[in-house]
A and B are shown apart, each in its own frame.
Chain A
């Protein structure tokens, strides 16, 4: 059932070793009995949620996307096959990649909805309602999320590639499967993203060093 044909042909023709999907037994069990989908859900909940949160920047939106992703995955699971485009490499043919492709589409739909119906997030309201803690919050954010802010400023697929590589610790082949690009293209995406982030962080540090506070000047 899984990977028949493509994997066999590839292995036979080019001597390429096709790795097994580590989730194969869980997927097979869930295809036979949908109630067994719970194991896959528990395993990937945090990953999908985290990906959605890093993409959308809001917990409620991330919850919506996560819910939609798993409901769609459960519904489509009987039709799931370990298949991926050849250029994406053998590692792209896994349940995890398939699930993240669903998540990516759900995020894109959510973004479209948000563009049509913009709304202030509760997180933003919470931030505005705590002025006494503002200084600490600014210091913490400036320090801890400078890298995250630099990533958030990256264009779509570069940002997604960085999040999948660093947060989800996916291989280049897996990212290629999720984004529907070749491994080479993903490598270049990541390299350019890293260069942009490095430049951005360097500029911020330079700016911080030239401010009066950083030089120890007092009014």
Chain B
């Protein structure tokens, strides 16, 4: 168990000042001239705080600047929306249905299983297609073999056959 560190003199004074400033700014919202008197507050600090409240005012920019920057921000925002539309700033959306729960790893399984099944199905389909093409590449039909022999003989006769070394 730790004991609280005692506040030093300046920290206690700072707390009193802070409490007064809170009251002073709250009084300003109620359009009151000053906060209720606090005997612990140094009168010189109180006077300075009152002057700062009255003399430090918010400065407003020109209307022209406001509208120019608004247009520039609107253009930048439109650019961001475009980037989102093409996937530049895309977000990952959960699958519809059960809400994902980060504490339950089982929630991610449907995606993995679905991907594996799709991949396996594509591989099987690919293998079947290659096998089918191979069987078609070397036809055993006698008529087809005769046509190929005739075409090869004509090429040799015309001199258009490739010379193989």
Contact = CB atoms under 8 A, between A and B. Distances in A.
Interface of A: 33-35, 37-38, 41-42, 45-47, 49-50, 53-54, 59, 62-63, 66-67, 70-71, 74-75, 78, 144-148, 151, 162-163, 165-169, 171-172, 184, 187-188, 190-192, 194-195, 197-199, 201-202
Contacts of B65: 63, 66
Contacts of B10: 188, 191-192
A194 B49 contact: yes
Nearest to A197: B48
Q: Which 5 A-B pairs have the closest CB atoms?
A: A34-B77, A198-B48, A191-B14, A187-B14, A147-B55
Given A188-B14, A191-B10, A35 B78 contact: yes
Contacts of B61: 45-46, 49, 59, 62-63, 66
A53 B78 CA distance: 29
Contacts of A41: 69-70, 73
Contacts, number: 129
A177 B21 CA distance: 18
Contact of A198 (B44, B70, B77): B44
A190 B17 contact: yes
B155 to A, nearest CB: 67
A46 B81 CA distance: 26
Given A35-B74, A53-B59, A172-B18, A151 B69 contact: no
Contacts of B81: 33-35
B13 interface: yes
Contact of B51 (A67, A190, A201): A201
Interface in B73-88: 73-74, 76-78, 80-81
Contacts of B48: 147, 194, 197-198, 201
Interface of B: 10-11, 13-15, 17-18, 21-22, 25, 42, 44-45, 47-49, 51-53, 55-61, 65-66, 69-70, 72-74, 76-78, 80-81, 89
A57 to B, nearest CB: 10
B72 A187 contact: no
A144 B59 CA distance: 15
B17 A167 contact: no
Nearest to B48: A198
Nearest to A171: B22
B44 A167 contact: no
Contact of B52 (A63, A144, A147, A195): A147
Given A167-B56, A187-B15, A74 B47 contact: no
A45 B66 contact: yes
A188 B17 CA distance: 9
A167 B56 CA distance: 6
